Amino acid sequence: MARPDSATASSQAGQEGLEDAGYGPRVPHEWMILAVVSLAQLMVVLDATIVTIALPSAQEDLGFSNDSRQWIVTAYALAFGSLLLVGGRFADLFGRRTALIAGLVGFGLASALAGIAPNVGVLIAGRALQGVFGALLAPAALSALTTTFTHPAERNRAFAVYGAVAGAGGAVGLLLGGVLTEYLDWRWTLFVNLLIAGVALIGARMFVPNHRPQGRPTLDLRGTVLACAGLFLLVFGFSRAESKGWSSPQCWVSLIIGVVLLVAFALWQNRAEHPLLPPRVPGERNRGASFLGMFITGAGIFGVFLFLTYYMQLILHYSPVKTGLAFLPMVAALMVSAQVATIMLLPRVGPKPVVPLGMALGAIGMLWLTRLDLTSSYAAHVLPPLLVLGFGMGLIFAPAMAMATYGVHENDAGVASAMVNTCQQVGGSIGVALLSSLAATAAANFAKGKPATAQLAAEAQLHSYATAYRWSAAFFAAGMVLCFFLYRSGAPKLDPEAQGGAMHM
C-alpha cells in the first residue's frame, strides 16, 4: 500500500497530466520567452515617443525644416501601420522565431542607420526602415506569447505583464528620450535600440521555438496589395490632416481611396482561398470587441501623451526629463491595474465589465484634466487624474490584448496579433490628427479679436488642451458603451474540441 504522501504526489501528477492533456504540452522556458517578447514589444512601443522628445535637438543639429521634422514621425507610422498585417501573416507562414529574429536584426540595423544619419534624408529613411521591421516584430512577439501560454493561469499572468509593457511603453519612451537627449545626445534615442535588440536577439535564439504550419506557405498577394495600400493611404491622409489641415486635397483624396481599398480588401477576404486576414479572426465577438477597444484607446490616449506633455513643458516649464518622471505614477498605476485585471478579474467575470470600466475611468481622467489652469500644481492637480488614467488604461490594455488573441487557431495567431497592433496604430494616427486639428482650431478661435499678449497666448494654449481632453473623453465614453454591448458576458471557457491551444469564448 502506498504511503499517503506518495498517493498525494501521484494524484497531483495525475491532475497535472489531465490539465496538460486539456491545454496541450507546456512550452519549455516559457517565462524566458515572455521576457524576450516583452523586451521586443517595449522597443517598438517606446520608439513612437522616445524620438519625439529628441526632435528639437536633431533639428538644430542637422538643420532641417519643420516639414522634414514631421516626416521623421510620419515615415515610421506609414511603414509600421501599412505593413502590420503582412508582418503578422509572415509570422504565421514562416515561423514565430524567424519573424522575431528578422524583426530584431532589421530594427536594430535601421536604428543604427538613423542614429548615424549625416542629414535628414538618411534619418527619414532609417525611421521608415524601423517601421518596416517593427511591423514584422510586433505581431511576431505577441503571437509567440499567444502560442506559448495556453494554460489559463500562466496565460493571464503573462498577458498582465505584456499588456502593462504595451500600455506603459509610451510614457517610458518620454522619460528615456528626455534622459538620453539631455545627458548624452539625441542620437542615443536611436542607438539605445541596438542594446535592447541585442539582448532580445540572444534570448530569441536561445528560447523561442520556431513553429510553422506544414506544407508550402501561401500568401494572399491580392489581399496584401489591397491591405497595404489602403492602410498606407489611411495613415497618410490623417498625417496630412495633422500637418496641412483638413482643407488639404491630399488629405481627403488619400482618405477616400484608402477607405475604398480597405472595403475591397474586406470583400476579397471572403472569397480568397488563403486570405491574409481570415474573416474568422475579427468575426468572433469578443475578439472584434477587443480590436475596437484597442482602436479607440489608441485614439484617446494621445490626449495624455501629446497635450499633457505640452502642458508640462510649456505651461509648467518642466524639462524633458522632469516631464518623463511626471508620467511614472501613471505607469505604476497601469502596471498594478493590468495585474489585477488579467489575473484576478478576467478569469472570474470576463472582459465585459473590465474593459468598459477602464474606458469609463479613461473618460473621467480626461475630463478631470480639463480643470488644469495656469496656476495648477503637479501634486494637487496633475497627479490625481494621471493615476485614474493609468488605472483605467491597465484595465483596457492587458485584458483587450489577451482577448484579442484568445481562442485564435495557432496558424492565425500572427495575423490576430497584427490586428491588435494595426488597430492601435491606426487609432493613434486618427487621434493625433483629429485632436491636433481640434486643438489648433480652438486656440485660434479663443484668441480671435483679442490683443496679442503672452497671457492670451498661454490661455489659448490651455483652452486648446482642454478641448483635446474633452474629445478624448468622448472617445472613451463611446468605447465604454460599445465594448459593454459587444463583449460577451461571463468568463471565457475552454473548448474541448479546440486544436492547437485554441479556446472558445
Please write the tens of the pLDDT for every residue from 5-48. Answer: 444 444 444 434 334 444 555 666 778 888 888 889 888 888 87
**CATH class, range 28-209+276-486:** mainly alpha
Largest CA distance in the chain: 96
User: Which segments in the chain show pLDDT lower than 70?
Assistant: 1-28, 66, 212-217, 303, 493-505
For residue range 493-502, what is the model confidence (pLDDT) as tens digits? Answer: 644 333 334 4
Grid coordinates belonging to 415: 495575423
- Degrees, nearest 5: CA angle 272-275-280: 110
Q: CA 140 to CA 153: how far, in whole Å?
A: 22
Close Cβ partners of 381 (under 8 Å, ≥ 6 residues apart): 371, 372
pLDDT for residue 304: 75
- Cross-strand pairs, 504: 493
Q: CA 398 to CA 162: how far, in whole Å?
A: 7
289 residue type, one letter: A
Q: CA 400 to CA 83: how far, in whole Å?
A: 22
**How many CB atoms are located within 10 Å of the residue 455 CB?**
9
pLDDT for residue 449: 81
Give yes or no for a contact between 167 and 342, defined as CB atoms under 8 angstroms apart. Answer: no
pLDDT for residue 14: 40
Query: Would the pTM of this model clear 0.85, i.e. be above it?
Result: no
- Cross-strand pairs, 493: 504
